[in-house]
Amino acid sequence: MGSMVSKTENTWEVEAEKSRKVLRESIPEQWLLPQDKLPSSDRLNILSVPEESGLLTRKELDITESDATHLVEKMGAGEWSAEEVTIAFLKRATIGNQLVSFTSSINQSNLNNATEFMAEDAISRAKELDAWYAQHKKLMGPLHGVPISTKEHIWHKGRVASGGYVAQVDKIVPEDSHLVQLAKNAGAVFHLRTNEPLTLMTGDCHNNIFGQTLNPCHLKLSCGGSSGGEGASIGFKSAALGLGTDIGGSIRIPAAFNGIYGFRPSASRLPYDGIELPGAGQESVKCVIGPLAHSIDDINLLMKTILDQEPWDNEVSLVPLPWKKVDVSRKITVGIMWSDGIVHPHPPMNRVLKSAKEKLQAAGIKVIDWEPYKSMEILQLIITLFFPDGGKAITDLIALTGEPLSTGAATFLQHARELTVSENWAANAQRDRLRAEFHSLMKDRGVDVILCPPFVGAAPEMNKMDYGTYTMLWNLLDLPALVFPTGEVVDGRVDVVEEGYVPVNEIDKAQFERYDPKTFEGAPIGLQVVGKHLRDEETVAAAKLIESILKK
């Protein structure tokens, strides 16, 4: 697609406006909240606005509060139509996008979690599905009528995939990405495309085209990134299922921050064709696509639906492993990693982990304490392997327009150091050694899955997301990792600042000092379940078991 990207004579501001225009014109205005229904400007959690607004019917609220698995059941039973379902989610998405634009206490216009609505296509597709159902008396496929939102750089035929770079606002892509094609085969409806940060190499969500995406659980906290728009979309229930990408935590961080589910599969399982990042051909740390969801059942549904279509027959780099049905018994051993050994988690995270340990033990699950392993070496290595080109692929694309870089992305890019090919090889070999050692360690310790924080605590304040080791560890090691919401939120009455804790290093100190229960009050706390390489099914099944015990 390189030929579509070139220096223009316009300023970056003028170029960026092109994409904003696409967004504006795509918004279904008939579903916008009228001014008098907008929440007050001091409100932080806007999740219940759709219900309070009275603009969605009870059925539409029921629909949008369902997970995909339930939706499909209801559509299969003929109780809900695909069109009803699609319109319900479009309505909610319209409101969601409007709210994270206008209720923000930050004085900035064009704040969106959406980059483009695809309302017409989605409704027309839903009608086709309904007609199909009426004729055949059964669903078209396992994702029949499920409205899915997608991170912007996941291709939709004939639409722009800028990847958040102003230089790419004219990059119209020739086909749907492979995963989108397969989801469509299974009956999915794509109605919404969501925001992602410039460079994607940040755990926040700001770019110069669409601005800042907000966290609907707490408008002053980060929505996470890089699949931040997806985090906000699924968090607000603007879609039944979402698709994001993850090279360092970009699915799991927004999942954790928005109180939803996110899964990073092992590399080479889900189809990745039709997704482009600057620096194609980088394979030291592979970026993967994966679901953001409302339940673990939905993660299973997505994985199974896609892998049942044997995508490896069209995308040769994939591993030809069907999605197996596994039953995880209570005989598994869970290793709890209380800390990554670099940064001590915040009080609400410690509380949730402690409670998890007690509940798991009470349920008869064997739990051991997992000593972190070479976290600092892994952290340094993955950052090295993110940018062995010195960050050139990214900075060249930015330089084409001169658009400014966010502080977060700029800070991260500061670590970029160009390697020679020989140095890159040595770093690959180091990565392989760490993978082998870690795998042996899991076997030696008899641990099936690791339960650990996805982040230091709840979502950090906006634009203060600057620590990602808790997710990056698993990218370097290429282990499947699932984040789920514990149902717990930061509670100032119990989650008080730890008295007497002495930080062990400067990073720890900085993160420790950020904690103040007032800042995070009410923000959701997620946990992460990490399994063995290519044991994705076992990891998801273990997460389901753990979640069921924790929420009992």
Tell me, what amino acid is at 54? G
d(CA 248, CA 286): 9
Residue 24 interacts with a second copy (CB under 8 A): yes or no = no
**What is the 8-class DSSP label of residue 160?**
B
172 token code pair: 């119209």
Among 360, 341, 358, 338, smallest CA distance to 350 is for 338
DSSP H or E stretch at residue 16: helix 12-26
Residue 79 interacts with a second copy (CB under 8 A): yes or no = no
348 token code pair: 């609400």
Which residue from 86, 149, 282, 519 is in contact with a second copy, where contact means CB under 8 A?
Answer: 282
The mark string for 438-457 relative to a second copy (x by CB under 8 A, - otherwise) is -x---x--------------
Which residue from 1, 11, 79, 320 is in contact with a second copy, where contact means CB under 8 A?
Answer: 320
Which residue from 180, 334, 427, 545 is in contact with a second copy, where contact means CB under 8 A?
Answer: 427
| 109 included as an active-site residue | no
Alpha carbon separation from 369 to 17, 23, 353, 431, 442 (Å, rounded): 52, 48, 11, 24, 12
479 token code pair: 């282990």
| 250 included as an active-site residue | yes
Residue 319 interacts with a second copy (CB under 8 A): yes or no = yes
Residue 420 interacts with a second copy (CB under 8 A): yes or no = yes
Show the CA angle centred on residue 229, arms to residues 227 and 234, nearest 5°: 95
Which residue from 419, 472, 549, 550 is in contact with a second copy, where contact means CB under 8 A?
Answer: 419
The mark string for 469-508 relative to a second copy (x by CB under 8 A, - otherwise) is ---------x------------------------------
Which residue from 362, 429, 496, 497 is in contact with a second copy, where contact means CB under 8 A?
Answer: 429
Return the HEC string of 294-315: CCHHHHHHHHHHHHCCCHHHCC
Q: Which stretch binds a second copy (CB under 8 A): 31-39, 164-172, 244-252, 428-436?
A: 428-436
Provide CB contacts within 8 A for 321, sequence distance 6+.
269, 307, 534
| Nearer of residues 2 and 34 to a second copy, judged by Cβ | 2
Among 195, 192, 250, smallest CA distance to 226 is for 250
Alpha carbon separation from 257 to 46, 52, 97, 350, 552 (Å, rounded): 14, 23, 17, 16, 22
* Minimum distance from residue 252 beta carbon to a second copy (Å): 21
- Known binder of ligand: residue 2? no
Active-site residue identified among 222, 250, 339, 375:
250
Map the footprint of a second copy across residues 381-400, applying CB under 8 A. 388-389, 392-393
Q: Which stretch binds a second copy (CB under 8 A): 3-11, 344-352, 429-437, 495-503?
A: 429-437
| Nearer of residues 47 and 393 to a second copy, judged by Cβ | 393
| Nearer of residues 78 and 322 to a second copy, judged by Cβ | 322
Map the footprint of a second copy across residues 227-256, applying CB under 8 A. none
- Known binder of ligand: residue 200? yes
Q: Which stretch binds a second copy (CB under 8 A): 66-74, 76-84, 169-177, 312-320?
A: 312-320
| 222 included as an active-site residue | no
Show the CA angle centred on residue 530, arms to residues 245 and 423, nearest 5°: 65
Residue 286 interacts with a second copy (CB under 8 A): yes or no = no
| Nearer of residues 70 and 535 to a second copy, judged by Cβ | 535
Residue 1 interacts with a second copy (CB under 8 A): yes or no = no
Residue 539 interacts with a second copy (CB under 8 A): yes or no = no
- Known binder of ligand: residue 123? no
- Give the residue carrying structure tokens 């209801």: 74
453 token code pair: 């924080």
539 token code pair: 């990891």
Torsion of CA 370, 371, 376, 378, to 10 degrees: -50
d(CA 294, CA 297): 8
Among 528, 542, 536, 526, smallest CA distance to 478 is for 536
Contact, 26 vs 117, CB < 8 A?
yes
Residues that bind a second copy (CB under 8 A): 273, 279-283, 312-313, 315-317, 319-321, 388-389, 392-393, 418-422, 424-430, 432, 435-436, 439, 443, 478, 533-534
As annotated, the binding site for substrate includes 200, 226, 247-250
As annotated, the binding site includes 200, 226, 247-250
Could you give the residue numbers annotated as active site? 151, 226, 250
